[in-house]
Amino acid sequence: MKIGIDGRCFLVRRTGVGRYVWSMCQALNDALPEAQFVVYGRSDIELPVTSPRWQVRDIYSRRKRFPLNMPRYLLSGRHVANDQVDVFWATNTVVPFGLGNIPVVASVYDLTHVIAPETMDVRNRVLLTALYARSIRRAQECVSISHGTARRLTARYGKPVRWVAHPALDGVFAVPAPHVQQAAMDKHGLSGRYVLCVGTLEPRKRLECAILGYLHAQDRGLAQDWALAIVGGRGWKGSRLEGLVEKGMARGVKMLGFVDDEDLAALYARAAFLFFPSQYEGFGFPVLEAGACGSAVVAADLEEVREAAGPGARMVGPGLRPVVSAFADALSVPPGPAGVPSPMPTWEHSGRVLAAALQAAAR
C-alpha cells in the first residue's frame, strides 16, 4: 500500500498537531511494515522515519509559515494523483482538490471554528469555515483524537466516526530526578513555589483566567510568595492579554515562552499544580503530560479534557467565574497528584487504529 501524507506540519516547529503527526508517523511505520509513504512537503524537512520506504515530494516554497502554503496545498491533489497513492492521510483535516478517486482519511483534532470561532485568527476561521464541511464529506474515514471530538463531529456534520486515536506520551514525560527538576527551575528563573500554565497565548486558552486568579489570590493574601509560570509561544488576538501580562509580571507572573520537552517535564513535576483553564479543547495534551510527571491538575471541566485527565485531577467550571475562583481555591486546599487515565494511551495502539482506518478507506 502506498500512502500519501500532508506534511505541512513538518514545515514549522513541532507543537500540538505537529508532535501528534510526527509520533503517529513513527507508529504507522511499525504498524504497516510493507507500506510506502510519500510526504507532501518540502525537500529540506526532517522526516519522522529514516527509511527507503519514506520519501518527500517537494511542493512548497521556502516560506516558513504554513498558512501561506494553504493555496498550494489545496491544489496539491494533482501531485498525489500523479503519484498513484492508494490512500491519502489529511493530517490537518482539510482535503486538497484534484485527488480524483483516491480515498482519504482525515484526522480531526477539534471543532474550534464551530465551538469557539471568536477565538480564532480571522484568516484561519474563514478558511476552515469554507473548507471543513467539504473535507469531512470527502473523507472516507475520519480519525478523531478523542471520543468527545468524535461525538461533536457526528452531531455537527452527521459523519459517523469509527476511529479514535488518542495522543500518547513520549518517554521524557515521567517524573525526573530531583536534580533535573532543580536544574530546569534554575534555567527558567524559578525559585520556591509556583503554579504552571501551558498553552499558546491566544483567546481559547483563557490564560487571562490564570493571571486574574493569581492576582485575586494575592489580593486575598494566598500567593504572596508564589509565582505563576506560563509556558507557550505568542499566538493571535493577544492585545488584551498582553496588557494583563504586563500587570501580572510586576507581581510574579513569569512568561517562559517555548520550553523543550525535557525542561517541561521537570517543570510539571515541581509545580504545585498545572492550571488549565481552556475554553475548549479537542483533547488536553498538557493535562496528560502533567499527570504523567506526577503533578496535580486543576482544569476546566470539558468532556475532551476529562479523557486526558487522571482520576485525581480537579475539574472545575467550565464557566469563566468558577475557573478564576478555582485558582485561589487550589492554593487554599491543594489538589493531590492527578495521575493518568486508564487505560493509558500509547502511540503503538493509536498507530494501529490509524493503520486500520487507512486500510479500510483503501479497500
Q: Is residue 174 over pLDDT 80? A: yes
Domain assignment present for residue 339? The answer is no
Which of 93, 98, 105, 115 has the alpha carbon at shortest distance from 140? 105
For 214-270, write each residue's pLDDT tens digit. 999 999 888 888 999 999 988 777 667 778 888 888 899 999 999 999 999 999 999
Whether residues 183 and 276 share a domain: the answer is yes
Count of structural domains, the chain: 2
* Selected residue with higher pLDDT from 204 and 60: 204
Whether residues 220 and 323 share a domain: the answer is yes
Whether residues 207 and 316 share a domain: the answer is yes
Q: What is the mean pLDDT of residues 141-162?
A: 97
Alpha helices in the chain (DSSP H): 17-31, 70-74, 77-82, 112-115, 122-138, 147-157, 178-187, 207-219, 239-249, 261-270, 285-292, 303-308, 320-332, 347-362
Whether residues 222 and 314 share a domain: the answer is yes
Indicate the SS3 state at residue 335: coil
C-alpha neighbours within 13 Å on the C-beta side of residue 73: 25
- CATH code of the domain containing 200: 3.40.50.2000
Beta bridge partners of residue 143, listed in sequence order = 107, 163
Q: Which three cell numbers, joined as nine digits, stand for 173?
A: 514525560
What is the rounded average pLDDT for all residues in the chain?
92
Q: What is the mean pLDDT of residues 3-28?
A: 92
| Structural domain of 326 | 178-332
Q: Any residues with CB less than 8 A from the CB of 234 and at least 6 apart, and which?
A: 200, 201
CA angle at 220 for the pair 324 and 275, rounded to the nearest 5°: 30
Whether residues 318 and 354 share a domain: the answer is no
Considering all CA atoms of the chain, what is the largest pairwise distance in Å, rounded to the nearest integer?
66
Whether residues 154 and 231 share a domain: the answer is no
